[in-house]
Amino acid sequence: MTKNLVDRDAAAFFHQKGSSPCISALRAAEGIWLEDVDGRRFIDLHGNTVHHIGHRHPEVVAAVKRQLEMLPFSPRRFTNEPAVALAEKLLSRWPGPPAKVLFATGGSDAIEISLKLARVATGRHETISLEGCYHGHGFGAFGLSEARPDTRLGPLLPGRWHATPYWVPDRGPELMLEDMRRAFAQSDGGIGAVIAEPIRSNCQVPPAGLWQEVRRLCDQHGALLIFDEIPSGLGKTGRFFAFEHVGAVPDAVVLGKGLGGGILPIAAVIADARFNVAPELDLGHYTHEKNPLTALAALTTIEIIERDGLVERAAELGTRIIERIDELARQTPSIIGVRGRGLLLAVEFDPAVCEMTAGPEFTARLVSACMAEGLSTTGKGDSSIGLSLPMTVTDAELDLAFEKLERAAGVVQSTSAAPASETSIGLA
């Protein structure tokens, strides 16, 4: 059944990296678990970073059902209680000066709203972002990710400066600041915004003081600092906002992914109210910008996070997981350690111990070995995999995940391990 559905998918959808063709087909998801159409179950260590409160949380499902019966849609010229309540809830968590919000249907659109805000607030259109980051696939958002994307896509937005990312070995943070200073000095039209993830979704944690210096540069040159917390916000790192770890409050933050409870798509921009200077423009004029259904899913998600102490739970579990990975690394030479914060983590492996070199083939081996043990994950660089569990994971479920991870690490370490193939990830 799985192979049949995967084949139908491949025939019907345009093929693109990371999603089509697919590796399997699902029929159910709940909590930390995914179940494919053949009944095979996987602990989800990836979840596209939407499963902050687990898959199919019953309270979010119930709230959505209630809203469907009452007001499933609200035309743009009308407001509604869930949308206003969500805006108020997000603003109540904001640690900066008075702010306002806009909603969108996805993170990429919300990133582009933040770019429009930066342009109208500063009168400048140029941006600084980090090379190799990811901010979405709209033409504006995608252009922030790479200085030289595939030429077949044609020209992207002009005025893009790309700084060396802080996670580059040796002098990364120093080179990043040097590149930013050079961009501020050489820009003809002026830099409107620096946009980056405060903690990268690939789980690289910045050194202390780095973002404080970027904040100082932005203030010196009159540019906005925009933090993309689409994968990292809402408590995943052990703080409600990931930027609370780095000592710098941005002018705007973008949330998404887990905001809809892993059920409905919604994203949000929270930005300084001083930028409310262009009421005559359509900055985020989306058909579903105040959709009561998606807003209630998001509001219910945040209420669950607050009520159940899930931010604190993520911080506590992150500390415990790091300790357990360190212990596992002493017993299993293929594991080097773990990086990240809270439950936004990546396990690092030593390819030399596995008689391989770092790169896509090695990462595929790691992912395949995990899938064979019932762990769904993804590569986080050339020799790492994601270890991103929901904040609702139980201690027993965490123990089970570690048992499976230890077995997978042993398989990867073995020189007799089969190469990644369709058979090894359960498609036969």
pLDDT tens, position by position, 246-287? 999 999 999 999 999 999 999 999 999 999 999 999 998 899
Instruction: Determine the 3-state secondary structure of 419 from DSSP.
Output: coil
If 0-12 CB within 10 Å is exposed, 13-18 middle and 19+ buried, where does residue 95 land? exposed
Residue 148: pLDDT band (50, 70, 90) is: confident
Binning pLDDT at 50, 70 and 90, where does residue 426 land? Answer: very low
Whole-number Å distance between alpha carbons of 106 and 38: 31
pLDDT at 415 over 90: no
Average pLDDT taken over every residue of the chain: 94
SS3 172: helix
Please report the pLDDT score of residue 26 as a whole number: 96
Contact in structure between 376 and 34 (CB atoms under 8 Å): yes
Q: What is the pLDDT of residue 428?
A: 26
Structure-token pair, residue 373: 């043990």
* Confidence grade of residue 376 (pLDDT, cut at 50, 70, 90): very high
Domains of the chain, CATH where assigned: 2-56+309-425 (3.90.1150.10), 71-307 (3.40.640.10)
pLDDT tens-place string over residues 157-181: 899 999 999 999 999 999 999 999 9
Assigned token pair, 124: 């400048």
3-state percent helix, strand, coil for the chain, nearest multiple of 5: 40, 15, 40
> What is the C-alpha to C-alpha distance for residues 115 and 112, in angstroms, rounded to an integer?
5
The candidate with the shortest Cα–Cα distance to 38, out of 421, 385, 374, 389, is 374
**416: confidence class by pLDDT, cuts 50, 70, 90:** very low
Overall average pLDDT of the 355-376 stretch = 94
Q: Percent of the chain beyond pLDDT 70?
A: 97
With 90 as the cut, is the pLDDT of residue 349 above it?
Answer: yes
Predicted local confidence at residue 49, as pLDDT: 95
Is residue 221 predicted with pLDDT exceeding 90? Answer: yes
User: Can you tell me the distance from the alpha carbon of 402 to that of 381, in angstroms, rounded to the nearest whole number?
Assistant: 21
Backbone angles phi, psi at 103, to 5 degrees: -110, 155
For residues 71 and 151, the model is more confident at 71
Position 417 scores a pLDDT of 44
Distance CA 205, CA 391 (A): 19
Q: What's the pTM value of the predicted model, to 2 decimals?
A: 0.94
pLDDT above 60 (res 418): no
Shortest CA distance to 238 belongs to which of 322, 315, 305, 346? Answer: 315
Let me know if 89 is exposed, middle or buried by CB neighbors in 10 A (0-12, 13-18, 19+): middle
Burial 174-209 (b: 16+ CB within 10 A, else e): eebbebbeebbeebeeebbbbbbbbbbbbbbbbeee
Are the beta carbons of 131 and 164 closer than 8 angstroms?
yes
pLDDT level of residue 419 (50, 70, 90 thresholds): very low
